Amino acid sequence: RKEAIRFFKNGANSNQSVEQIMNDFVRTCGRYNNLKVQLLQCLLILALADNDLHAKEREILNSVAGYLRISSFDLERLIQMMSAQTRFNYNNNFNRDSSSASESQLKDAYEILGASESDNNKKIKQIYRKLISENHPDKLIGQGMPENLIAMATERTQKIQSAYDLIKKHRDF
């Protein structure tokens, strides 16, 4: 955590290039790939704040993903999942009274998990468990993550749980 704070302060007050800062960040992350994904998720939350991912924002995300050595496929999957979370959250806030999920809510639920409607129940449960494991706040607390990242992970975990619950209800499993 201290290292991350140091990087932030150095980056804010530095003449270092973005490339140097990103290389330092990647080196510090070491084998903790979830830290790299957390950075991309934070940037995606900012980019999706207006519910639209603009071309310039996508360009910046592609650049950051390149520095982080995250493939364009994985970035696209993350963008789809985070966009679906934003839509799912919006739709749930306005459709709480509805007893059945709309087709778009169900589609978003599958996208949040990174699953497909054609996946069987076992595969969906497997995907769900992996996402919960990767995003669980307790895991991040154990890694010494700052409270704001833990709060974001908590929110993400709740969206993953809601999406999974909706799919389970729809499939009756």
Greatest mean pLDDT among 13-27, 67-81, 92-106 lies in 67-81
Asked if residues 34 and 134 have their Cβ atoms less than 8 Å apart, the reply is yes
The number of C-alpha atoms within 13 Å of 76 and in the hemisphere containing its C-beta is 3
Residue 98 has pLDDT above 90, yes or no: no
Q: Where are the domains of the chain?
A: 31-171
pLDDT at res. 136: 84
Q: How confident is the model at residue 3 (pLDDT cuts 50, 70, 90)?
A: low
Q: Which residue intervals of 48-144 are DSSP H helices?
A: 55-67, 72-94, 103-113, 121-135, 137-142
Q: How confident is the model at residue 96 (pLDDT cuts 50, 70, 90)?
A: very low
- Pick the more confident residue, 2 or 49: 49
Q: How confident is the model at residue 129 (pLDDT cuts 50, 70, 90)?
A: very high
* The model's pTM: 0.62
Cβ-based burial of 61 (10 A; exposed 0-12, middle 13-18, buried ≥19): buried
Percent of the chain with pLDDT over 70: 84
Residue type, 53: L
Residue 97 has pLDDT above 50, yes or no: no
Asked if residues 137 and 154 have their Cβ atoms less than 8 Å apart, the reply is yes
Residue 155 has pLDDT above 90, yes or no: no
Cα(150)–Cα(139) distance, integer angstroms: 9
Cα(106)–Cα(87) distance, integer angstroms: 11
pLDDT digits (tens, 9 = 90+) for 62-85: 999 999 999 999 999 999 888 888
Cα(36)–Cα(56) distance, integer angstroms: 21
Determine the 3-state secondary structure of 125 from DSSP: helix
Determine the 3-state secondary structure of 54 from DSSP: coil
